Amino acid sequence: MVAVSLWVVQVVSLLLSTNCNAFAPQSSSSSTSSSPQTPTRIMMIPPLEDLSNILQSSGTDNDFLARSTNLLLSEMTSEKQGAIAKGAIISLLFGGGLIPSAIDANKSLIGTLRGKRRGGEDMSVSDYIPTSNASGPPLPNSFLLFPSEEIPLVDILAILGRIDDVNSIADWRNLDTAKMVGVDNVNPPMWLPRGDFKKNVRSAKWKGWPKDKSGEPVGGKELEKEEGKRIGKVGVVIGDAALDAVFDSWAWGSSVATPDKVETTLALYKNSDGAFDVDEFIGAAARGRAVTGFAALTFIFIQVIAYCSLFIAPLLRVVFDIDIGFGVLGDCDGTCTTLF
C-alpha cells in the first residue's frame, strides 16, 4: 500500500508539471471565426493507459518509475479498478473511524507499557517522579515488572512501612465513588484511583521499617541505619515506579483498587505480625503486570484481524490475486494464490 501511495503521488506531481494542453480538448481544424478565442483548458484525468506515455516523455530520470507503472497498469483492468473502488468505499465506511481511535489507543498503550502512563492517574495534577535517589540495592527480580526505571528496594520499604492493613491507604467509606448520589449506602462502590493511592501513601504516617520473617530489618541493619531517617519523614520522595508496582500487585491492570482485592493481596506478602515477604510481593506484582501485558497482546491481535480484513487482504486479492484469508472482501481476477 505504501508503494502504491508513493506511485500515485509521483504520478500526480508529474501530471501537474506537464503542459495542461496534454489534457485540454483539441480545437477543430474546420472551425472558422473572425475573432480569436482563448481556448478553455480543463484539467481532465487521462486514461490509465496514457499515464505510462506521459511518464516516459517526462525524461530519463523517470525510467524506473515508468517501468514500474507499466507493470502495475498492465494488471489494472477495469474490473479490478471497480473492485478496488468498491473495497475502498466499504473499508472507509466501516473502518475510517477506526484509524484515529486506534492511533490514540496505541499511544496510550505504549505509554502504559513503558510505565510512564498508568490508568486512573491524572498526570497533569502531579508530575511523574522517575527516581528518589535512594541508596541500597534494587528490588530483586524487578525486571519481571517491566518498570521504566530501576526500583530501589528502599522505595518499596518506604511504602510498606506506611501500610499496616487495608485501611492504611484510604478512608474507603469517604471516597468520591462511595458518596455518589443514588449508590447503595450499605455497600457503596469503593474505588481508589491510582493517583489518590500515591498521594495517600506519600502523606501517610511512618510506622516503622519492615521486618522479615526472622525479625531482622529487610535489606539489613546497615540499610536501615542509612535510609531509615529519610524515608520516615512525611512527604518523602518515592519514585512512581515503586508505587505503581505496589498498586499493580492488587489492582491487576485495573485503574482502581477495591478494598477486597487490597486486603487479599496484602495478606500474601505482609503477615499479621507485620513481617514482609519480598519474594511474595514480587510474585504478586508480576502477576498484576502480566494482566496488563496480556491485555496489550489481545489488543494488538484484534487490530491485526481488523486491518487485515478491511484493508490488507482485499488489496492483495484485487491487485495481486493473493488470498491470505481474513474475510471475503475483494475478488481475485481468475485463480487466487492461497498462502494460508
3-state secondary structure 220-236: CHHHHHHHHHHHCCCCC
Q: What is the mean pLDDT of the chain?
A: 76
Average pLDDT over residues 306-312: 81
Statement to judge: residues 66 and 139 lie in one domain: no
Average pLDDT over residues 91-109: 72
Q: Is residue 207, in this structure, part of any structural domain at all?
A: yes
- Structurally, the chain folds into a number of domains equal to 2
The domain boundary residue, chosen from 276, 296, 316: 296
Question: Sorting pLDDT into bands at 50, 70 and 90, what band is 245?
Answer: very high
Q: Is residue 59, in this structure, part of any structural domain at all?
A: yes
Show Cβ contacts of residue 256 under 8 Å, excluding neighbours closer than 6 positions: 120, 191, 192, 193, 194
Please check the confidence at residue 261 and state whether its pLDDT lies above 70.
Answer: yes
More confident residue, 84 or 225: 225
Q: Is residue 55, in this structure, part of any structural domain at all?
A: yes
Q: Is residue 327, in this structure, part of any structural domain at all?
A: no
Statement to judge: residues 69 and 181 lie in one domain: no
pLDDT of the residue at 14: 43
Q: Is residue 137, in this structure, part of any structural domain at all?
A: yes
State phi, psi for 170 to the nearest 5 degrees: -170, 155
Percent of the chain past pLDDT 90, that is, above it, reads: 35
Statement to judge: residues 155 and 256 lie in one domain: yes
Confidence (pTM): 0.63
pLDDT tens profile 139-193: 999 888 888 789 999 999 999 999 999 999 999 999 999 999 888 888 899 999 9
Q: Which domain holds residue 8?
A: 1-14+46-76
Statement to judge: residues 290 and 178 lie in one domain: yes
pLDDT of the residue at 86: 66
Statement to judge: residues 56 and 172 lie in one domain: no
92 is written with which cell numbers?
Answer: 472507509
Please check the confidence at residue 103 and state whether its pLDDT lies above 90.
Answer: no
256-257 and 322-323 beta bridge pairing: unpaired
Q: What is the DSSP string of 34-76?
A: SS--PPP----PPPHHHHHHHHHHT-GGGHHHHHHHHHHHHH-
Question: Sorting pLDDT into bands at 50, 70 and 90, what band is 263?
Answer: very high
